[in-house]
Amino acid sequence: MTTLMLDGVARTFPGVRGGVATIALHPTSLRVDTNDFITILGPSGCGKSTLLRIVAGLDRPTSGRVLLDDVEVVGPGRDRGMVFQSYTLFPWLSVEDNIRFGLRERGLPLAQQRDIAAHYIARVGLSGFERHYPRMLSGGMQQRTAIARALANDPRILLLDEPFGALDHQTRGLMQELLLSIWEAERKTVLFVTHDIEEAIFMANRVVVMTARPGRIKDEVSVELGHPRHYTMKTTPAFSALKAHLTEETRVEALHALPTPLPALQP
């Protein structure tokens, strides 16, 4: 069983050249249980990615702490797998070698590395592309490789920072279904950052809504939709009701984030 606890996590960035400090996150608390799939939704600059980087151990909170099974997170670790919006593949390594990278660093026998890589290459639909280099792949294929690389290390929690944000609409939808199918099969605990409302609903068991900067959790919305999920679910009344509710919540925060109010529309 894996329990992630964010206990009053806050982050302030020092001002540049003695300027005013930037408060990115107000104290934020959140519990994530085993097999949860939680999406974090909010306007640009609200601290979503900062929160995820703190969970990943890539940044440290100014105050508060992150606990994974009661052990404080103080740096990166293989118990947390991270996937970024940019594909972050090693351009000099093939698909297979990218996926094997963490396994090799852990010192696993070569045969075991190859077996694990082959499993996840098949899982993400890249069989036949094992020897291809990133420059030879589409954006969706590169991101599938990045997801396979993260999963190959068997993390307890998978952290995804807008992983499909750079993809076209059709590819993005297909990647959502692919990731959900993997989650439904393997039941990893997932934290998924997005600014896309439909994506947040479709992927999650629970949507966490954040305020405009300084970010804090404004609302937590349960998504009572069954599994397996299919894209046609996005046209159902239940999905539309959730979308309407979250659209209003995030619109208010997006307006707060604007430097000046929008001009009133003329009748």
Q: What are the structural domain ranges in the chain?
A: 89-154
- Residue 151 is predicted with a pLDDT of 93
**Mutual orientation of helices 169-186 and 139-152 as an angle, nearest 10°?**
20
Size (the chain), residues: 267
Pick the range with the lowest mean pLDDT from 33-37, 61-65, 184-188. 184-188
Cα dihedral 211, 216, 221, 227 in deg (nearest 10): 100
Residue 5 to residues 12, 29, 57, 147, 218: CA-CA distances in angstroms?
20, 7, 14, 24, 17
> pLDDT tens digit string along 84-142?
888 789 999 999 999 999 999 999 999 999 999 999 999 999 999 999 999 999 999 99
More confident residue, 3 or 33: 33
Half-sphere exposure of 76 (CA within 13 A, CB side): 7
Strand partners, 207: 39, 221
Task: Match 């997006």 to its residue by tokens.
Answer: 254
HSE (CB half, 13 Å, CA atoms) of 11? 25
Q: Are 250 and 43 in contact (CB under 8 A)?
A: yes
Three-class secondary structure of residue 164 per DSSP: coil
First CA to last CA distance, the chain: 57
pTM, two decimals, is 0.91
132 touches 91 (CB < 8 A): no
Res. 258: pLDDT tops 80: no
148-178 per-position pLDDT tens digit:
999 999 999 999 999 998 888 899 999 999 9
Q: Mean per-residue pLDDT for 78-83? A: 92
Residue 265, pLDDT above cutoff 60: no
**pLDDT for position 155:** 93
What confidence tens digit (pLDDT) does each residue in 53-62 have?
999 999 999 9
pLDDT band at 46 (very low <50, low <70, confident <90, very high): confident
Token couple for 218: 């404004």
**49-74 burial: b if 16+ Cβ within 10 Å, else e:** bbbbbbbbbebebbebebebeeeebe
pLDDT of residue 90: 95
Do residues 163 and 83 lie in contact, with contact meaning Cβ atoms separated by under 8 Å? yes
